[in-house]
Amino acid sequence: MEQTWRWWGPADIITLEHVRQTGATGIVTALHDIPAGVVWTKDAIEERIRFIERDRQLGLRWSVVESLPILEAIKIGEGNLEPLFEDYRTSLRNLAACGIKTVCYNFMPVLDWTRTDLRAPVVGGGRALRFNAHEYAAFDCFMLERKGAEADHAPEVLARARAWFDASTPSDRDKLLANIMAGLPGAFDRYDLPGLRTMLARFKDVSAERLRENLGRFLKAVVPTAEELGIRMGIHPDDPPRPLLGLPRIVSSEEHIAAVLDLHRSPSNGLTLCTGSLGARPGNDLPAIAKRFAEHICFAHLRNVTKDPDGSFEEADHLGGDVDMVAVVRVLLQEQNRRRQAGAADWRIPFRPDHGRELLDDVGKPTHPGYPAIGRLRGLAEIRGVMTAVSQLEGLAL
């Protein structure tokens, strides 16, 4: 499996030299300075490639695009979408012309990954990302004041939400809003409460069925081009894997993934397997999901979570938490072996250690939430050890 690292571009305080010290050789990045919907030109892509490869001794390459964003208008299905589809196809053509053939994307309405606490304390003084169900309910019901929101939360969670809200200060509420917005990459809009209400209103008629139809329309428009170019597109699961702020989520379970792949059957319509996102949903069996959809996996995010009965969850150590990471890695290595024996040129599956706890000297540093160096380095090292042990025991290529 290709060891990769998410890098936020030249302004990232974690440098490419640091990335190489982790043992990763593949870079997962995007042109974050380009607003969503604007074409990625060949010049811009080539400039970023030159930056990544400027020191040949590092041996780094831009391995995966994460993400090539999709405009909300496409998810809503509003207006004439063909120009937007063509711009997306043009960006794919330019990426392929520059030799980049794996693209991760998501179809989550309005918000990307969502947490309520970006620095929850862990034993020993580290920090972790956390989703507290009662804080989310307080935001949904008492800050956003979404109509009918109370019906979406269990009574005991709602009671704790009311208690939190009544005891909170304006600073507490501002911090909660900022935390919930933190999952959006830099080129996306951050919303204040009025702006978020306006955005949610645009989705008022978008049910899960309609959102899935709009995804199908997008796939029909862009996947044939991706297939011609040899690009594999991997949809990222919802994070958290549940409806959020009244918005539907359609990539949250095994059944959802099967439905997405059925929307447009093609080697280019694939899956980014995120063990943390899917692992936050009770009932999701990650080794079974990985095995069922193995041939469709074009990229993997390997991280772990620990779930609470009320729907809360926290980012765990990569080999801790509720997901059997060893079993997932075994499935991925077995799938690689199948591809290699079938003669596939790109048989290795790129993966990255997704998210990570703030540990040691990284505590308090201004890294992107969930993306400190040391926590991810630990995760990559642990997964590398699992890979090595499984490959030697079962005779599978790394």
Among the listed residues 136, 301, 317, 362, the single catalytic one is: 301
- 310 is annotated as an active-site residue: no
Length of the chain: 398
355 classed as catalytic? yes
| Marked catalytic residue, from 153, 236, 264, 296 | 236
Q: What are phi and psi of 63, to 5 degrees?
A: -95, -40
Tell me, yes or no, if 301 is annotated catalytic.
yes
- Average pLDDT rounded to a whole number, residues 263-287: 98
Please indicate whether residue 264 is annotated as part of the active site: no
Inform me whether the pLDDT recorded for 58 exceeds 90.
Answer: yes
The torsion region of residue 124 among left (phi > 0), alpha (psi -120 to 50) and beta comes to left
Check 12, 117, 354, 362 and give the catalytic one: 354
Give the pLDDT of residue 190. 78
Check: CB of residue 200 under 8 Å from CB of residue 184.
no
pLDDT tops 90 at residue 46: yes
Percent of the chain with pLDDT over 70: 99
Confidence category of residue 189, pLDDT binned at 50, 70, 90: low
Task: Tell me the average pLDDT across 21-43.
Answer: 96
Q: What is the pLDDT of residue 188?
A: 59
236 is annotated as an active-site residue: yes
Q: pTM of the predicted model, to two decimals?
A: 0.96
Q: What percent of the chain has pLDDT over 90?
A: 97
Among 136, 274, 296, 362, the active-site one is 274
Q: How confident is the model at residue 251 (pLDDT cuts 50, 70, 90)?
A: very high
Residue 185 has a pLDDT of 64
CA dist 331 and 309 (Å) reads 28
The residue annotated as part of the active site, out of 153, 318, 355, 362, is: 355
Average pLDDT in the 232-251 region? Answer: 97
Structural domains in the chain, CATH included, are 2-114+206-394 (3.20.20.150), 117-200 (no CATH)
* pLDDT reported for residue 186: 56
In the numeric block, the tokens 């509720």 are attached to 322
Q: How confident is the model at residue 261 (pLDDT cuts 50, 70, 90)?
A: very high
Averaged pLDDT, 104-119 = 96
CA angle 62, 68, 72 (to 5 degrees): 165
Q: Is 274 a catalytic residue?
A: yes
Q: Are 276 and 303 in contact (CB under 8 A)?
A: yes
Place of tokens 């990763």: 24
Helix (H, G, I), strand (E, B) or coil at 197: helix
